[in-house]
Amino acid sequence: MGGSITSAEDTVEISLTVDSRPQTVTVSPRTLLIRALRNQMNVTAPHIGCESGRCGACSVLVNGQTVKSCMMLAVQAEGTEIVTAQGMEEDTIGQRLQSAFKKFHALQCGFCTPGMLASARELLRHNDHPTEDDVRQALRGNLCRCTGYQHIIEAVLDAASVGRKSHEN
């Protein structure tokens, strides 16, 4: 038989910020962060591709770090600040990545894209001059079945170089 049925007593209230919006929801201790985001907070940018940490479609930034939100319990996100692709428009690195992804046709079905953006944004925040290999390493945990990845690599490198140019000015 499967896991136990959640009864009202063992639910927990959590408060966190998602894409700059404060959220308070009640979750069961076994609720995964991805499910709380999607089903309770209506944040549908991260997707469920495997629910076992293998595909990265569910990746979001938790306090600036890429996290596979299917590998984290919602209760562990108490008090954190979460950014998804939905909220990435608000920062310059996120914007640069979004426009480079479009320019280089780095997405097809778009299902992996929010997760890719999260991992790429973490990379560019720490490394404004990544090599091709840095990009491959940073996005290793994100599967894409559509693009063959090359356009994604080109897009991330381009976003980095746009960022460097803007600093020079």
Residue selected from 74, 124, 152, 159 as contacting another protein according to rule CB under 8 A: 152
Quick check: 127 binds another protein (CB under 8 A)? Answer: no
Partner touching 85 among ligand FES, another protein, none, CB below 5 to 8 Å by kind: another protein
Quick check: 54 binds another protein (CB under 8 A)? Answer: yes
Residue selected from 11, 17, 51, 162 as contacting another protein according to rule CB under 8 A: 51
Separation of alpha carbons 110 and 152, rounded Å:
12
Residue selected from 18, 57, 123, 159 as contacting another protein according to rule CB under 8 A: 57
Q: Are strands 12-18 and 81-83 parallel, antiparallel or unpaired?
A: parallel
Comparison of 23 and 147: residue with beta carbon closer to ligand FES: 147
- Least gap, CB of 108 to ligand FES (angstroms): 4
Beta-carbon-side half-sphere exposure of residue 31 (alpha carbons within 13 Å): 25
Separation of alpha carbons 91 and 71, rounded Å:
26
User: Closest by alpha carbon to 42, among 25, 61, 62, 59?
Assistant: 25
